[in-house]
A = this chain, B = another copy of it.
């Protein structure tokens, strides 16, 4: 099902001062030279699980004379975000026709064997990182102008001529990021899988840290508010690039629309502009991101500037309540994200997230010494907690339900726990009961898993949280992740919200938070 939002009336309010502050914080990107480390051959039997049947040294590349339909697969050894230059020449007689070359950059091995031509999902096939090049004159040094997110590069000769072959003398590249590996030290633990999870987390974060916190460097290459909040959390514990968080908070704060709503995401080019998409939960979580920033920096100037924006999101959120103090069910729309996953009802979660955001609003108001705001938020929050229990708690099942169909999902329980509708002990019982029941409506994104881990920790289930992290993110590593993925459903590894995994993002910001949890709750103490 296509999930997107187009707002009919969309009037952007630019706060030029906020945008100026953001612009001044625009980072210089660091460039790192990269090169292929080996050449691969895959078994091509139509299986979705590719198998490397042979490999050889990358130096062998330049000795290959490639004819029509020949291909080489270059492995750059790790996930990179950056630019690639091809150094091409010919062998045999003089080049007597354009060399016609197909390139496919992939983040994962299985994308190489996927049939991209048949992709027919609901988001643009333009996201598939492939190119068709005519090289009229050889030798040629071709600096590809586009940025790619990739570990693998397939170079296929669509045609040369009977008189000459294509030679790929070298493929070089430069990776880009706002941060550098050296800025982070590895965690000290004997647990190999935790080390790996931390390493892959920080790589994911690094590769998404460009001119802003991007959600995914392959797709969508822009800044989503929901991702930003989680990235920032991981960033405080690793690269600690607080300027970038500040920049991004000012960008969102400086690009509101209509009654002051924050858009769900911002486009970066040709100029920074908001998307005409409102996500109820993302907008509410702005305050949580702002509070995290203030706690990490004690930057009162920024807090003062952006506090009104955060409070405004809560005020707007409250306007959606009906007379029963419920958020009407809008699960059929792309209006409150919560999680990907077919059929998830988000009504209860949306109320829980509103409550959650109010707690953060109260903390912000306290730092701002705005007693009036903290007081009315606290009062209203109590009303909503009661409403949540009254309408959504199923005493028989001992679980929260959502929507007219009284759906039981993992997400609803997790957000009710994070909203602290119950006290800590009852939350603990709820999360353990949820695990036992294992509702069929599962979590499919690392974004939702983040909140699940958070809920476990906040309920005093730290060890279980660690086990779950190992199971979920560790399993991605077992399945070959160099960076963590946008979507991972251990029950359906080829799940995609878009109609095909070909356009899934395999380095996705919202999946980078294990490093946050590990460094905050486990290893530093």
Interface residues, chain A, CB within 8 Å of chain B?
2, 4, 6, 92-100, 122-127, 131-132, 134, 136-139, 146, 158-163, 219-220, 222, 267, 269-270, 273-276
CB distance from A100 to the nearest CB of B (A): 4
Beta-carbon contact of B131 and A131 below 8 Å: no
CB distance from A131 to the nearest CB of B (A): 7
Beta-carbon contact of B96 and A267 below 8 Å: yes
Beta-carbon contact of A132 and B134 below 8 Å: no
Number of copies of this chain in the oligomer?
A: 2
CB distance from A266 to the nearest CB of B (A): 10
Partner of A125, one of B95, B137, B158, B269: B158
Chain B residues with Cβ below 8 Å from A100 are 124-126
Partner of A123, one of B97, B125, B220: B97
Would you list 5 pairs from A and B whose C-beta atoms are within 8 A, ordered by A residue?
A94-B274, A97-B127, A97-B220, A100-B126, A131-B132
Q: How far is the CA of A159 from the CA of B222 in the complex (A)?
A: 19
Beta-carbon contact of A270 and B139 below 8 Å: yes
Beta-carbon contact of B139 and A134 below 8 Å: no
Chain B residues with Cβ below 8 Å from A267 are 94-96
Partner of A269, one of B6, B99, B136, B159: B136
Chain B residues with Cβ below 8 Å from A96 are 220, 222, 267, 275
Chain B residues with Cβ below 8 Å from A158 are 125-126
Chain B residues with Cβ below 8 Å from A93 are 6, 275-276
Beta-carbon contact of A161 and B97 below 8 Å: no
CB distance from A222 to the nearest CB of B (A): 8
Beta-carbon contact of B159 and A125 below 8 Å: yes
Chain B residues with Cβ below 8 Å from A160 are 124, 126
Chain B residues with Cβ below 8 Å from A6 are 92-93, 163
Closest to A101 in B: B126
Chain B residues with Cβ below 8 Å from A127 are 97-98
